[in-house]
Structure 1
Amino acid sequence: MTRRALDASTPHPGGRPTVTSSTTQMPTLGSTSIGVARCGARTSTRRRPPPQSRWSRTGVVGFAAVQATPEPDAGRPEELTMLYVLARAHGGGAGQALLDATLGGRPASLWVAADNPRAHSFYRRNGFTPDGSTSSFGPIETTVRLVR
């Protein structure tokens, strides 16, 4: 296994996310890019920020992974296999920083729950559109594939 690590973003004022990204060569999966978002205490410039936008704890608030697309019909060379941000860090830039660090602007595919409008909006802002494929995954009854 080979590993290359880099600091994908610099710390921002107010405790915004810092993402560390690494690429790992795994014998069974090939090359996998993994990102981890860490945040410090957040202060807001808003007069009265909503409670969910304040981070009362520090540490890891999200993670993401990209690997070679396992489905031959996906039409994209890579798949965003994971991108998760804790609810307490939503809206603070962690998801965007993770996506930028692990995938950048490269073409890719991903699967997302059909009933997750927040995720659909995020991916749409980043150039992803549905390609018409649907599936299910564990307890998620319907997932849709997005591509860019």
Structure 2
Amino acid sequence: MWVLAGTLVAGLVVGVLLHRRNGRIRTTTPEAPSGLPEPVVEALAPGTAVTLVQISTTFCAPCRHTRAVLSHLAKRTEGLTHVDLDVTDRPHVARDLGVLRTPTTLALTSSGRELLRVSGVPKAQELLTALEPHLVPRVERGSHSQGG
């Protein structure tokens, strides 16, 4: 009976911890890139402020939801690109990046520096707010500051 109760409690604790981490943005230290895997380097968009590299697998249901969130965000945000990288047949890519679950989203500069990462489905507004300092500010046309 005690084993059953202990297993149940351990399962609940792990479940709560995983739920709390889902979609949470983790910023990374501003270091130079340390040898990104070639598929990731190829996915970086030159001349773009930030590339969102989504690490996915074929049979991952949350990956489809993440793809929808990130592609919509990239379409409406200047300086932001989204690339979905399926690692089903390339597990070494996930291992080299330290990715333990899919979906995981990496926000990378065009030089390959990691700005942040999100495990699970990101919350669009929180992600945009975290990326804002790294994106090109939009110039408002017809604003009052132009005079005349």
- TM-score for both structures, normalised by structure 2: 0.22
Q: Which structure has more strand as a fraction of its residues?
A: 1
Larger relative contact order, structure 1 or 2 (CA cutoff 8 Å, min sep 6): 2
- TM-score for both structures, normalised by structure 1: 0.22
Q: Which structure has more helix as a fraction of its residues?
A: 2
